[in-house]
Amino acid sequence: MKEKLKGCLRQLGEGLFSNNPVLIQLLGLCPTLAVTTSVNNAVGMGLAATAVLICSNLFISLLRRFIPRQVRIAAYIVIISGFVTSVELLMKAYFPALDRALGLFIPLIVVNCIILARAEAFASKNGPLASVVDGLATGLGFMLALVLIASVREILGAGTFWGMPLFGEGFKPAIIFLLPSGAFLTLGFLIAGVQKICNIRDDRRKLEGTDPEKEELA
């Protein structure tokens, strides 16, 4: 039991940080760039994608012995789009404002490469429980990246956080951060920061000659 829990925590850590779908694997960039104009939208998109990821990972893992190899991608897409449609309808019913803000990017979760990548790389080879944890970890990692980018863009571009004004009247927001070019620039600088951290870590490891596995756990 304890071993299992440790494995789950490790999976979570990988999804959130060391194997973050956006900042490290560079997947799912369309929604990342598009919906991060406010933290509110980022959390909504992150939750929607996490829900779809958990459900699709669970079902694909349960069906992995029954889906023929040749048509597996088509089968995955049908399963994923089924869940995306459910999420879309639920969102329209209960969060109409969020649905309007995210627009077409809710149905476009179907073609989000993160979800298909997890289905192909993880859920089709592992049991249901591990797949659900993997879906949760990857989804939360996606949300973390979205919230990070959205915080930068909302604070600098609108001077607010979750809609609440942060600065006094005199603050002039830099609208460029809300424009499409701001999305590319913010993500570029964030990934550069991540690469800087990775570089420092790698250099230190080389100097000390430590075991990378041990450092990962620490």
Residues in touch with another protein (CB under 8 A): 26-27, 29-31, 33-34, 74, 77-78, 81-82, 84-85, 88-89, 104, 107-108, 110-113, 116, 176, 179-185, 187-189, 191-193, 195-196, 199
Residue 148: DSSP 8-state: H
Structure tokens at 53: 């990821």
User: CA dist 24 to 17, 27, 145, Å?
Assistant: 8, 8, 10
| In the complex, minimum distance from the CB of residue 113 to another protein, in angstroms, rounded to a whole number | 6
Nearer CB in complex with another protein: 105/133: 105
What's the CA gap between 192 and 176, in Å, rounded? 20
CB of 194 to another protein, least distance (A): 9
| Smaller CB separation from another protein, 89 or 166 | 89
The distance of closest approach from Cβ of residue 217 to another protein in the complex, given in angstroms and rounded to an integer, is 25
Structure tokens at 138: 């990857």
Length of the chain counted residue by residue: 218
At its nearest, how many Å lie between another protein and the CB of residue 73? 8
Tokens representing 59 are 């079902």
Structure tokens belonging to residue 24: 């490290």
* CB-nearer residue toward another protein: 67 or 179: 179
Task: Kindly tell me which of 116 and 145 has the beta carbon lying closer to another protein.
Answer: 116
CA distance 10 to 108: 30
